[in-house]
Amino acid sequence: ASGLLKGKRGLIFGVANNRSIAYGIAKAARAQGAEIALTYQGEALKKRVEPLAAELGGHIVGHCDVTDPATIDAVFAETEKLFGSIDFLIHCIAFSDKDELDGRYVDTTADNFTKSMFISCYSFTALAQRAEKLMPNGGSLVTLTYYGAEKWMPHYNVMGVAKAALEASVRYLAADLGPKNIRVNAISAGPIKTLAASGIGDFRYILKWNELNSPLRRTVTTDEVGDAGVYLISDLSRGVTGEVQHVDAGYHIVGMKHPDAPDL
Ligand code: NAD
């Protein structure tokens, strides 16, 4: 299929480099004919994101650090100037102090709890508040989550708690915005080696475990997450909201290690 997103315009948060999940979604959305606007977090990432936007034929609407609401307002003002209205918004933003993505959850500090929850969960709601105003004809909001929201995972710690809150917020936002035909969904991606993931303790072990034990016997790529993103943005999913769509090679259905799977 091609041209599934023809005539649709969207704003994408969270491209850091070409391994970012946001980049995979941006690329897949462009391939289906969407017009896209990207943001970057800080000057260091600007240098990386600019060439990626050019390569994809997308726009850049400026610096956005979700801890600074003025920068959120600025990128929405820029997007309104550029597009008038938007049809989709992609939120691929998460943060926790690296020191606490190792060891025990019980040792989480109040400071890092608050910061992780604000950046990884509340920011989606902050963006939804602004997106609502730019979606007079309805639209689709998509965030990224992980299985650590549902089950304990080694070292995921406060991020698992933040993702659980993020998934709950998907349901509350979906109910609030449904009457305006704005749909709100999450993609629960399997582990992928990105900048953010490199901060998680024993990440290589987690990747390998998923590869050996998922029903498809492999991990997923950002291109595959991108194509699932296209579905959630497109009219193909017009009857779907409040959903957490797993794109994880089926890992979330597994109850225990398959007897045939090799030991790690
Ligand atoms: P990434 O490092 O490429 O992207 C993370 C992004 O978050 C970066 O672009 C960074 O600039 C942005 N960010 C962090 N703090 C921010 C702030 N204060 N303001 C604005 N932006 C901020 O890594 P990724 O793996 O592509 O992460 C994207 C999303 O996917 C995250 O929500 C992550 O939790 C989720 N996810 C990742 C995996 C995985 O294994 N990589 C699996 C499931 C879900």
**Band of residue 238 on the pLDDT scale cut at 50, 70, 90:** very high
Residue type (1 letter), 86? I
Arithmetic mean of pLDDT, 183-199: 97
Interval 91-143: pLDDT, tens: 999 999 999 999 999 999 999 999 999 999 999 999 999 999 999 999 999 99
CATH top class, domain 9-253: alpha beta
Closest to 186 measured CA to CA, from 251, 130, 120:
120
Binding residues for NAD(+) are: 14, 20-21, 41, 65-66, 93, 163, 192-196
Q: Is 156 a catalytic residue?
A: yes
Report whether residue 198 contacts ligand 1, using a CB cutoff of 6 Å.
Answer: no
Arithmetic mean of pLDDT, 231-238: 98
CA-closest residue to ligand 1 atom 29: 92
Closest to 87 measured CA to CA, from 49, 154, 32, 144:
32
| Beta-carbon count within 10 A of 248 CB | 25
Can you give the pLDDT at residue 2? Answer: 86
Interval 7-65: pLDDT, tens: 999 999 999 999 999 999 999 999 999 999 999 999 999 999 999 999 999 999 999 99
Task: For a ligand 1 pocket test, name from 144, 156, 170, 203 the mutation site with the most ligand atoms within 8 angstroms of its C-beta.
Answer: 144
Report whether residue 156 contacts ligand 1, using a CB cutoff of 6 Å.
Answer: no
**Band of residue 262 on the pLDDT scale cut at 50, 70, 90:** confident
Can you give the pLDDT at residue 192? Answer: 98
In whole angstroms, give the CA distance from residue 227 to residue 247. Answer: 10
ipTM: 0.99
Interval 53-74: pLDDT, tens: 999 999 999 999 999 999 999 9
Which DSSP string do the residues of 146-168 spell out, in sequence order? -GGGTS--TTTHHHHHHHHHHHH
* Ligand 1 atom with least separation from CA of 66: 19
HEC profile for 31-73?
A: HCCCEEEEEECHHHHHHHHHHHHHHHCCEEEEECCCCCHHHHH
Q: Does residue 214 carry a pLDDT above 80?
A: yes
Report whether residue 41 contacts ligand 1, using a CB cutoff of 6 Å.
Answer: yes
Report whether residue 40 contacts ligand 1, using a CB cutoff of 6 Å.
Answer: no
Can you give the pLDDT at residue 1? Answer: 67
Q: Is 146 a catalytic residue?
A: yes
Report whether residue 192 contacts ligand 1, using a CB cutoff of 6 Å.
Answer: yes
**Band of residue 156 on the pLDDT scale cut at 50, 70, 90:** very high
Can you give the pLDDT at residue 70? Answer: 98
User: Which is it for the CA torsion 127, 129, 135, 139, positive or negative?
Assistant: positive
Q: Hey, which bits of the chain come out as E strands? A: 9-13, 35-40, 59-63, 88-91, 139-145, 182-189, 244-247
Domain ranges of the chain: 9-253
